[in-house]
Amino acid sequence: MLRLKSMLQGEIMKKPENLEKIPWPEVMTLIWGCFMAILDTSIVNTALPTMRATFGGDADSVQWVVTAYMLTSGMVIPVTGFLCDRFGNKRIYLISLSIFIGGSVLCAAATSNNFLIFARVIQAIGGGIIMPVSMSMIRIIVPREKMGMAMGIWGVSAMGAPSIGPTLGGYIVVHLGWQWIFTINLPIGIIAIVLGLIILRETPQKTGLKLDVLGFILSASACFALLLALSKGQDEGWTSLYIVSLLIYTVGASVLFVLWENTTEQPLIDLQLLKNRTYCISILAVSLSNIAMYSITFLIPIYSQNIRGLTALQSGQVTMPSALAIALMMPVSGRLFDRFGAAPLCVAGFSIAGYYSYQLHTLTADTSFTDMQWILVKRAIGLGLAMMPVSTAGINTIPKQLAARASAINNVVRQIAGSFGIALITYVMMHRQIYHNAWLSETLNWSSSATVIAVKNLQSTVIHHGISSSAVMARYCAEELLGMSLQQQAYLASVNDAMLVPAIIVSLTVPLGFFLNKKAVENENSKQHARLIQPASSKTL
């Protein structure tokens, strides 16, 4: 206990002039594997139509290729803190990479949709662990004063990979075949394992730990139920017995989890972390920004493909510049964080992101390709400036001994926030489409001169193009075309309305930045270390 006390006190009293350097070989090794795992979560979406054509079945069965991965990865994340503390971060990282690669090989060899879903579950067990383990390992091996720069570089994979995925996935599917979106993980993963074996150092292991089995069952099942409800809520209906039952179970299991964790001697997650004010504000800011980010990521392909008529590959090209912008901003924001702290970056970055998110609600069917890209790029610059500093500010208040547990909480929150963002934006868009359809139908006067002229012009166009030579059928076609045009306008209006939601949400994150100033982070860091030292010192009396 005295050793723990002296170690913690030594960490607090480190002087700036004795700062260690960032172990870049280890950081880049972790980024390599992490980028592969995160990229796979978004790259698969592009291949779903091709998979459906290959295996047959309906859209819902093919969608389980994505849903199964999301649910499984969400279930395994809570246990990563225990695994890292018990067996060491390096060992768990290499095992998770191996599982992920094995699952990828099975996915590429799949001969049916059910087998592919099974293989995705295997892949998700490894993929769900990789990100929190790499984040906690960076927290352990990087000096606290250099954490901003290291997390900024690491954030290139966390933020850039989801945006690059659709474009890369579209190219691979068109030119190589859908199997290659999984096969490509084999050489990349083997390189990651070899680098990990050679470069990474093992972290301390706590041999006396026992797995909190009940805590794991409660947390994993609660995550499973919540993520399933968020993914199926729009299809099943939010008031349906199926979804309501899932949500009730989520609340019940979460309450039991909290009660159990506060009584057991070796909890799965240290809930005392949630008494850390700075860490909680950081998690809230990360949640809101992830909701906003995933909402736009979901809406832009809908706008590009369903309204503009672009292909999946062209739609990916729309978002590619913004992905590069985030990637370039991450190291910059990391360097600025080390110097100025999170507060000014959060306020400035989220203000920029909020403004340009609001600009997206003015998109029309004629908005140019370049204008759309520039709005997304400017928005990405704001997000890239703010998101990683906000997350790092909270992590910096966590003692290294609890890094794995805190990292698990962070990643569960990120996953739930992303799923909630997509569910929320889908709900808003569908309901606004119903509203606009009804409003346009009511306001359309078929006997007005403008409508009569429009119908006659469309009727002439139908006859001119040889679609129908009958005046009666031509008029019918003209009226149908006018109705379809109104539906398209209603669809565009609903997408524009939905674009306002992430703009509002990211704007709510701005004031949170004022609570993440350098003084608040330092005070909370000292308080958290004192919390661990106090029990240790009292037991030695």
List pLDDT tens digits, range 329-387. Answer: 888 888 888 888 889 999 999 999 999 999 988 888 888 888 888 999 999 899 889 98
Q: Minimal CA–CA distance to 409: which of 88, 74, 64?
A: 74
Mean pLDDT across 398-416: 84
Q: What is the DSSP string of 479-527?
A: HHHHHHHHHHHHHHHHHHHHHHHHHHHHHHTGGGGGGG-HHHHHHHHHH
Intra-chain end-to-end CA distance of the chain, in Å: 11
Instruction: For the chain, give the mean pLDDT.
Output: 81
CA within 13 Å, CB half, 295: 33
| Bigger pLDDT: 65 vs 2 | 65
pLDDT digits (tens, 9 = 90+) for 138-170: 888 888 788 888 888 887 777 767 667 777 777
| Amino acid identity at 335 | R
Question: CA 137, CA 87: separation in Å to the nearest integer?
Answer: 13
Contact 165, 42 (CB under 8 A): yes
pLDDT at 473: 56
Give the C-alpha distances (Å, rounded to integers) separating 360 from 210, 367, 494: 50, 10, 12
Secondary structure letter of residue 22 according to DSSP: P
Encode pLDDT of 225-276 as tens digits: 998 998 888 788 888 999 999 999 999 999 999 999 888 888 888 888 888 8
* Alpha-carbon gap, residue 84 to 203, rounded angstroms: 8
- At 204, phi and psi to the nearest 5? -60, 145
Measured CA to CA, the distance from residue 170 to residue 214 in angstroms comes to: 42
d(CA 18, CA 480): 75
The C-alpha angle with vertex 353 and arms to 352 and 359, in degrees rounded to 5, equals: 95
Contact 202, 90 (CB under 8 A): yes
In this predicted structure, the answer to whether residue 196 has a pLDDT above a threshold of 50 is yes
Packing angle between helix 213-236 and helix 241-261, nearest 10 degrees? Answer: 160
Distant-in-sequence, close-in-space partners of 507: CB < 8 Å, separation ≥ 6: 350, 351, 354
Write the DSSP symbol of residue 269. S
Residues 459-478: pLDDT tens digits?
566 555 555 555 545 555 55
Band (pLDDT 50/70/90 cuts) for residue 18 is: very low
pTM summary value: 0.81
Higher pLDDT, 61 or 247: 247
Burial class of residue 266 in the structure, from the number of CB atoms within 10 Å of its CB (0-12 exposed, 13-18 middle, 19+ buried): middle
Higher-scoring residue by pLDDT: 532, 367: 367
Element (H, E) at 304: none
Question: Residue 359 burial by CB count (10 A; 0-12/13-18/19+): exposed, middle or buried?
Answer: middle
pLDDT value of residue 302 = 81
Give the pLDDT confidence score for residue 251 in this predicted structure.
95
